[in-house]
Amino acid sequence: MIASCLLELNNVTKYYSIRRGFFDTRPKEFKVLHDVTLRLEYKKILGLVGESGSGKSTLARLIVGLEPVSSGRIFFKGKDISCLKDLRIRRQIQMVFQDPFSSLNPKKTIFQIISEPLKIHGLCPKSKIRDEVARLLVEAGLLPDAMDRYPHQFSGGQRQRIGLARALALDPELIVADEPTSALDVSIQAQIINLFLELHKKRGISFLFISHDLPLVEFVSDDVAVMYQGRIIEIMPKKSFLGKDRFVERHHPYTRLLFESVPLPDPSLSQKKDFKAEALEASIDLSWDNACVFEPRCKYKMDICKKISPEMKKVGDNHYIACHLYN
């Protein structure tokens, strides 16, 4: 049976324990992800945005299996992979990291870096590995002779391509890209993004695309999820994200705050905005289970917001918001 969606997260929660000093025998549990529920359809790109520390990279690490979930389930093609170590399934989910400088082992040649997963998974006969590495490098936009060099001999953009070639070696169905272009300059960013989109089209790879660059997320994604303090607070189709009606359509107050940070090409549109960015610091108390976590910053707060954590509600096609304003 083919699952209806490629990736499904059901109430995924992640705790870290924090020790306050060497003699602290009772480390404090720190909840970083709260009941995250999310779906990514086959051959789609889901954008994930949210301020620093909201838990985007933690979620990415759980999806690719770098860390275990504390509770909840992650399904990939209908199979529960929350505790699964099955390499045949795990290899179909690959990650491209934010920092192209530290994500490649400086002591290994590019050939060693890219051939390693091929060898571990036994995907290619030994005699054909060099040809396969050359093919992957070309697919990622590099010359085959790059394979005999070391990571420090490449620019940031080229290293990101090498990281992508390494991910492609395992023929993934899903690539989790955690701010893949934030360390690159604008022209190189565009080249890397075009490469992602080409791979998406040609190979049908789905992406979870994490970024702080909202216009870029709008350009790349089919749907966008917004995260705030470890919770998904809004999921919307691309057309509702940063579209010209962004201040007229229904959105979570935090999403509006994010929109405020993006300059508008048409100054008359800014007249329509009804939400003023507040300079309040985000609350660092992440343990709120019985209140809306955005309440201290929200201009529209009501009594109920302090008492009940809002559930996700459907407000349109593929559009969900967790806010008491839309109950």
Ligand X SMILES: Nc1ncnc2c1ncn2[C@@H]1O[C@H](COP(=O)(O)OP(=O)(O)OP(=O)(O)O)[C@@H](O)[C@H]1O
Q: Are strands 223-228 and 45-49 parallel, antiparallel or unpaired?
A: parallel
Q: What is the binding site for Mg ion (CB under 5 A)?
A: 57
Angle at 218 between CA 321 and CA 4, to 5 degrees: 60
**Quick one: 58 or 255, whose CB is closer to Mg ion?**
58
Distinct helix (H) and strand (E) counts, the chain: 8, 12
| 206 touching ligand X, by CB under 6 A | no
Tokens of 171: 């023929």
**Quick one: 58 or 115, whose CB is closer to Mg ion?**
58
Q: Which amino acid is at 287?
A: S
- Going by C-beta distance under 8 Å and a sequence separation of 6 or more, which residues neighbour residue 43? 6, 200, 204, 205, 206
**Quick one: 60 or 169, whose CB is closer to Mg ion?**
60
| Structure-derived torsion over alpha carbons of residues 309, 314, 315, 316, reported in degrees to the nearest 10 | 160
Cβ 56 to ligand X shortest distance, Å: 4
Cβ 205 to ligand X shortest distance, Å: 22
CB of 278 closer than 8 Å to CB of 296: no
Binding-site string for ligand X from residue 1 to residue 40, where x marks contact by CB under 6 A and - marks none: ---------------x---------------x--------
Tokens of 276: 């003023």
Q: 158 touches which of Mg ion, ligand X, none (CB within 5 to 8 A by kind)?
A: none
Cβ 54 to Mg ion shortest distance, Å: 9
Q: 16 touches which of ligand X, Mg ion, none (CB within 5 to 8 A by kind)?
A: ligand X
Cβ 57 to Mg ion shortest distance, Å: 3
Q: Which 127-146 positions form the footprint of ligand X (CB under 6 A)?
A: none
Cβ 288 to ligand X shortest distance, Å: 14
Q: 52 touches which of Mg ion, ligand X, none (CB within 5 to 8 A by kind)?
A: ligand X
Binding-site string for ligand X from residue 51 to residue 90, where x marks contact by CB under 6 A and - marks none: -xxxxxxx--------------------------------
Q: How many residues does the chain have?
A: 327
Residue with tokens 């022209």: 187
Report which of 204, 128, 192 is spatially closest to residue 165, judged by C-alpha positions. 192
**Quick one: 32 or 177, whose CB is closer to ligand X?**
32
Q: What number of other Cβ atoms are within 10 A of residue 280's Cβ?
A: 9
Where along the sequence are the contacts to ligand X (CB under 6 A)? 16, 32, 50, 52-58
